[in-house]
Amino acid sequence: MLEMQREILTKEALSLLERVKGRREAEGRFVEALRRVNELRLRLGEPGFRALSCLSRPPSVLLLPVSFQGVPCPQIRVSAPPDTSLHYDAEVLERIGELWGALAALIEVANAEAAIRCISEQLVRLSQIINSLDRNVIPALEDAIRRVEERVAARELEEHVRARRLRGA
């Protein structure tokens, strides 16, 4: 049963690894979005840029435990995207959109990485249990069974000999 669970978790981790492969692209997208925001920041001037950022309400995110095949993992869930309704500049809105899109992709990758870490930790624990059972507990139990069987066999032989003696007497 434990080995079956280990197999299921391994498959889950492998499927999550596909999502993590997008990390390089997500990071590149984020760096590019940030570069374009910085260009805008220079052009608008620091006071203007900071005042503009007052107009944006930040996104609302929650950290929730989510079960992956019974393994609880912390996952970021976006409950509300950033509110940009007060902005009027199309270029500013475009930059915010790019940055948020890139950040959302990074959140997806971070979620997958967190899930892989939790599953990996669970796999390590499972392997330790399975190894412990294979190398210590099961051999010890088998040894005990063997010793009990030997003892039983010895008793049977003893009783058989005693019975023969009595029959002979």
Interface residues toward another protein, by CB under 8 A: 38-39, 41-43, 45-48, 50-57, 86, 88-90
Of 28 and 65, the one with the shorter C-beta distance to another protein is: 28
* Nearest approach, Cβ of residue 125 and another protein (Å): 42
Alpha-carbon radius of gyration of the chain: 32
> Cβ 96 to another protein, closest distance in Å?
13
Distance CA 16, CA 112 (A): 6
Give the 3-state secondary structure of 129-149. HHHHHHHHHHHHHHHHHHHHH
Q: How far is the CB of 61 from another protein (least distance, A)?
A: 16
Q: Compare residues 53 and 127 and give the one whose CB is closer to another protein.
A: 53
What is the smallest separation between the CB atom of 63 and another protein, expressed in angstroms?
A: 22
Report CA torsion sign: 103, 109, 115, 121.
negative
Task: Name the residue nearer to another protein (CB basis): 57 or 77.
Answer: 57
Judged by CB, which is closer to another protein: 53, or 67? 53
